Structure 1
């Protein structure tokens, strides 16, 4: 019988429901070492939790995360709470002896991330990973494989983007991601930075210096009560990095935009090199593009239609299309596989070290964007 790993969820909003849905559809995957079962949920808003019990049956329901952590049945926790709460709740999860998959950015600033990192270091017996689902698209994996194979040669430029237009309407009511006191001073970088840095950091590209253009276009938003309140986070950030490399330094551009006209929710990675190039975007979820070239030879992009070719096997036929809910489930499959003693098919979820590294980049980018200067990244 397949091993069952019992999970609690702290934070029952959008992403908590995505995990619950992925767990309920676990029979979609094939050849798994283990499966998750949700046995407890927690949120300060009781109205959110009825969806879980209706869909998944009886379980512990609480508005106090401490009660969930005291539940001996819970082995691992998925935590999806506002950034300001990470430094309180993540260490508490680890102190309770629970494995953790936490939402990015693992603390609303560098100081909070260091406190979380210390709590992680104190519990080496526990598996801790950071949520970042987009690199689990088959096309993103193809780009990673292409770079790792050496096909790119000396790198000319890397661009990684996460673009959406959710904030283009200035009349959209305020939420916590638009409040610096809850989201953090990073603004859009804190919410989207792990998405754009996951693959670059995994490939060993650690910026030495950064400049940044930070854009704030919406100063106030409706408060939902007939008034308006300050919207004091950065809307868009374009970070330009200098990445040291044995073949010569190269630029890397990172875009985290909440106001990107025409973009519903687009993640992309583009790597250009002297011997080969590769690109993937979720706008074309079943395809990736690549080229190889010799000195003096022709250059032309090849577009390969990948279909449904995930890291972890599934019942879906290879001719069909991979989507966001599949990426979420693949990320969870990687976490569960590690918990069950596997290697996540060679591509684990974002690690605490990568989360800490992305804080180093974002801290420098925030300083660069507010000062107008080039800033060294402090590793």
Structure 2
């Protein structure tokens, strides 16, 4: 069971969300939208109302949700909407409305939106318009005018989801460690679809930044490689002129104001922030100079064959370093592989990416042979790239 928290801003954020939940969806995928639970048990339900004008009932529901926000007037917060889709796994049984209602109550309680027994908590509703998921919509002002205490609500909701899975016999997901990369939003997916792209800008940039990290030996080289791949880079500098961070954009990817859509490295993935990249670039000591340089393909193959031994016999730090190095290898190999193998290698890199991120500090010094040999392969003259390696 996967919950995902989305925050909404603006004076009409609640009304827009209600309109979406009771509308046809982007591809007419919403069927039989109806309320399964609410803060008071008798909120107006546009999906089950005999009222002839659906919009009037949607207005009424949004107005009731927003009443505590409107009471604050100019003191109302900018972010007023808490939206949490909760989706079951494809192999899970179809749950009843009563089961989804109980799930919604547990989720809002865990998040701090509506703790059990708190009559002054935020107002919320849970709407179901498909067999496998619900949407919880809440306003971020309690009925007593205070803000809800939702400290670490993302982690709390995930923990509760794991408990719900066990209680209902649903597919059990592994607890997260907070290092997963942020997934593209629905708006980003729709934008990519409108532009005829199979991949969102966020995913394209994440792949190119990961490749630049894997290919570079220095910070200067990292930024140079990024720009060489067609990425626009905007460094973030401090008062002293030093670079503190960076943002990236794809040429031609613009917002409604005609401005580039920027992504900071840390929003692409936690391990792509500039401090984390600097650590990776400096954590590997240079290889000793050899009188007769070895063949890089043979070196990479031998180093890769030793990875299982490191995973089972080495420390956690060494094991994580091996996973990071293998992920970098998968990132770079598509650049030097024959066209027939490129698609599969790119898919492997995307699937393996999650294993390269962990709260365990990676020992990258133990991976210098693999990392340096793959970088050497990348720099090999094009004439030798015939797929034999």
- Give the structure with higher Rg (CA): 2
TM-score by length of 1: 0.24
Give the structure with the higher percent strand: 1
Give the structure with the higher percent helix: 2
Q: Which structure is richer in relative contact order (CA contacts within 8 A, separation 6 or more)?
A: 1
